[in-house]
């Protein structure tokens, strides 16, 4: 009797684990930075399925991963409030030069050292995955090296899982909004990406900034763009056309905005004439996090607009015009993610939220 029951339970367990390996778990994600002013213990981890600790560095002298004490204790800290939340260690971002990543990725020996080190660091600090944030890849050589790195990384991760009898670590990467870079025309190694990554975090923001597009107001993170310019949805479509399926794509949204200076305070739509950065607000000048924008609005009696054609918010007061994601934009983006059967969404980054309003909106829309 006892043996039979054990047999049935193991069979069910085996079927369940097969089921989960076939259907990827949804991603309600967010990045946390240790020096952002938000303590890890303050994170409302019940609002997320996955949290990214950003960033581990690359020691260029020996190609080992370097991790801060805040990231070392991150998993334990955030799982106190929500034991089921999964954590990933993000590598790079502003901490690693593109040329340093490329140097490591260009040689078999340095790749091997880096990969082994990353798996050891993830396992010994309780992370369930690794997330590559190699920012600023721009040449086709870098793209090729990235593809080789990802392929060897996946092989090593699978081998480690078999050797230890554990579930393989997750492997993800934060990548540009389109698989083809606009300036250099270099293309991401989409085949290797589709084969090796659990998913891509698509960085669907920073399409414009007042200092590089000074003459007209723009949405820097529009979900759509009727003029055919960069947008979240066109980027996602391009990744899908390039061979990365929807269930491997996670849409990113920003918890910050940019301020343009209007030429005429009475002409305040998207693509209204502008005169560069409004340096009277934000830090650095013209850049405001969501919580600052929510202070600016009542202080300056600003008008808030949600433009559903673009899927973006902006607010204006006098000649100050700020483009950002408010709750309506977040709801529209999460609905888009659901309708198009993407894997999920992520926020960059948690400390910029205003009392969890955007994170809560995202989670609510996901569940509705
Ligand atoms: C970019 O690549 C495409 C396809 O490979 C090619 O047709 C086009 O001429 C290239 N453009 C530039 C600016 O290099
Ligand atoms: C833009 O601002 C500069 C000063 O910062 C001013 O000299 C110029 O006239 C402005 N241009 C327009 C079109 O308002
Ligand atoms: C969104 O903005 C564009 C450009 O300013 C405008 O043409 C369009 O009518 C707006 N859409 C809505 C729904 O207000």
Per-residue model confidence as pLDDT tens digits over 211-227: 999 999 999 999 999 99
The total of structural domains in the chain comes to 1
Average pLDDT over residues 161-188: 95
* Residue of minimum CA distance from atom 11 in ligand 2: 275
> Looking at the domain assignment, is residue 340 inside a domain?
yes
Q: Dump pLDDT digits (tens) for 93-125.
A: 988 999 999 999 999 999 999 999 999 999 999
How many Cβ atoms are within 10 Å of 274's Cβ, its own excluded? 24
* Residue of minimum CA distance from atom 2 in ligand 2: 275
DSSP 133: E
> Looking at the domain assignment, is residue 20 inside a domain?
yes
> Looking at the domain assignment, is residue 39 inside a domain?
yes
Q: Does residue 55 have a cis bond before it (omega within 30 degrees)?
A: yes
Q: Which two tokens stand for residue 94?
A: 């502003």
> Looking at the domain assignment, is residue 63 inside a domain?
yes
Instruction: Show contacts of 357-361: CB within 8 Å, 24+ apart.
Output: 357/290, 357/294, 357/327, 358/255, 358/290, 358/325, 358/326, 358/327, 358/330, 359/30, 359/44, 359/47, 359/48, 360/47, 361/327, 361/330, 361/331, 361/334
- C-alpha of residue 121 to centroid of ligand 1, in Å: 40
* Residue of minimum CA distance from atom 9 in ligand 2: 275
> Looking at the domain assignment, is residue 96 inside a domain?
yes
Of 270, 272, 255, 263, the residue nearest 327 (C-alpha): 255
Instruction: Report the pLDDT value the prediction gives residue 23, as an integer from 0 to 100.
Output: 56
Query: Residue 57 — φ and ψ, nearest 5°?
Result: -110, 175
Q: Dump pLDDT digits (tens) for 261-285.
A: 999 999 999 999 999 999 999 999 9
Q: Are residues 56 and 135 in contact, defined by beta-carbon separation less than 8 angstroms?
A: no
Residue 201 or residue 2, greater confidence: 201
Return the biggest CA–CA distance within the chain: 82
Range of the domain at 62: 2-254+326-367
Ligand nearest to the CA of 312: 3
Q: Residue 107: which CATH number?
A: 3.20.20.80
**331-352: burial string, b at 16+ Cβ within 10 Å, e else:** bbbbebbeeeebbbbbbbbbbb
Ligand 3: nearest atom to the Cα of 272: 5
Average pLDDT over residues 31-51: 97
Ligand nearest to the CA of 307: 3
């Amino acid at each position: 009797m006892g043996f039979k029951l054990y047999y049935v339970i193991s069979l069910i367990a085996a079927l369940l684990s097969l089921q989960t390996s076939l259907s990827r778990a949804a991603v309600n994600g967010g990045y946390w930075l240790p020096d952002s002013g938000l303590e890890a213990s303050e994170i409302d981890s019940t609002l997320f399925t996955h949290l990214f600790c950003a960033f581990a560095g690359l020691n260029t002298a020996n190609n080992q991963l370097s991790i801060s004490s805040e990231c070392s204790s991150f998993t334990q800290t955030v799982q106190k409030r929500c034991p089921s939340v999964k954590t990933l260690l993000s590598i790079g971002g502003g901490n690693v030069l593109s040329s340093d990543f490329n140097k490591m990725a260009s040689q078999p020996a340095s790749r091997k050292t880096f990969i082994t080190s990353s798996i050891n660091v993830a396992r010994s600090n309780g992370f369930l995955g690794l997330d590559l944030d190699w920012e600023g890849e721009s040449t086709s050589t870098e793209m090729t090296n990235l593809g080789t790195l990802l392929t060897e990384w996946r092989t090593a991760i699978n081998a480690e899982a078999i050797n230890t009898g554990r579930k393989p670590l997750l492997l993800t990467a934060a990548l540009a909004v389109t698989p083809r870079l606009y300036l250099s025309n270099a293309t991401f190694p989409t085949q290797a990406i589709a084969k090796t990554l659990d998913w891509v975090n698509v960085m669907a923001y920073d399409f414009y900034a007042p200092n590089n597009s000074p003459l007209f107001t723009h949405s820097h993170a529009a979900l759509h763009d009727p003029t055919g310019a960069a947008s979240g949805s066109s980027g996602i479509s391009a990744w899908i056309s390039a061979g990365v399926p929807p269930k491997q794509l996670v849409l990113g949204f920003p918890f910050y905005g940019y301020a343009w200076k209007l030429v005429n305070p009475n002409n305040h739509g998207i693509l209204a004439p502008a005169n560069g950065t409004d340096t009277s607000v934000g830090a650095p000048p013209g850049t405001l996090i969501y919580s600052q924008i929510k202070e600016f609005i009542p202080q300056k009696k600003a008008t808030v607009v949600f433009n559903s054609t673009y899927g973006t918010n902006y607010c204006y007061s006098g000649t100050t015009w700020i483009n950002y994601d408010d709750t309506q934009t977040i709801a529209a983006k999460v609905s888009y993610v659901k309708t198009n059967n993407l894997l999920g969404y992520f926020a960059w980054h948690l400390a910029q939220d205003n009392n969890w309003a955007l994170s809560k909106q995202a989670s609510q829309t996901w569940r509705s």
